[in-house]
Amino acid sequence: MIDPANTGLGHRQVQRRNLPDGWAISARPAHPGLVSEADFIAVQHIHAPRGSPDPNRSYLLAGLLRCGVCGRRMESCWANNRAAYRCRHGHTSAAKTDPDRPKNLYIREDSVLRHLKSLWVRLFEPEPAPSTAEVVNHLRAQEITLTYDRQSRTL
């Protein structure tokens, strides 16, 4: 997407990489979904990392997003009662302030989730389109990460 926050800008061509080997796409669902998307999302709470400060906070995309500035995995952070992801590019708050240090990268989870399905359809042209939950599952299963580029605001 040109801009995850503005679908009106549309899509641009994306390099296809990490195309999962042995990816099988059936023309119709092979079997009924075992769980609804709502159940899937609810169950994510159960898998929240142990020892996380607030068990009610869940991060559907934890570990799946990469920083377009430095390539590190973005870390989960909770801001304004929403799941979000940020990258401090390896700097810690204790480090001396460096004027050349790039600004922290930050993106809200919902702004990614809202477009995940269309991104997936764009990349893999599956028929029928998967649910957002299925996309997240596939990303995890195939160890695919999405890189967020601030300049172009693309995934």
What is the x/- site pattern for Zn ion, positions 6-45, by CB under 5 A?
----------------------------------------
> Taking CB under 5 A as the rule, does residue 146 contact Zn ion?
no
Report in angstroms how near the CB of residue 106 gets to Zn ion at its nearest: 10
Residues 6+ apart with CB under 8 A from 121: 129
**Of all residues in this chain, which one has the CB nearest to Zn ion in the complex?**
67
Report in angstroms how near the CB of residue 89 gets to Zn ion at its nearest: 4
Q: Encoding tokens for residue 25? A: 């796409």
C-alpha span between 145 and 72 (Å, rounded): 11
Contact in structure between 115 and 122 (CB atoms under 8 Å): no
C-alpha span between 39 and 35 (Å, rounded): 6
Could you say which residues in the range 60-119 bind Zn ion, by CB under 5 A? 67, 69-70, 72, 87, 89
Taking the least distance from each CB to Zn ion, the nearer of 88 and 115 is 88
Report in angstroms how near the CB of residue 21 gets to Zn ion at its nearest: 28
Q: Across the beta sheet with 75-79, what order do the strands follow?
A: 75-79, 82-87, 105-108
Residues contributing to the site for Zn ion (CB under 5 A)? 67, 69-70, 72, 87, 89
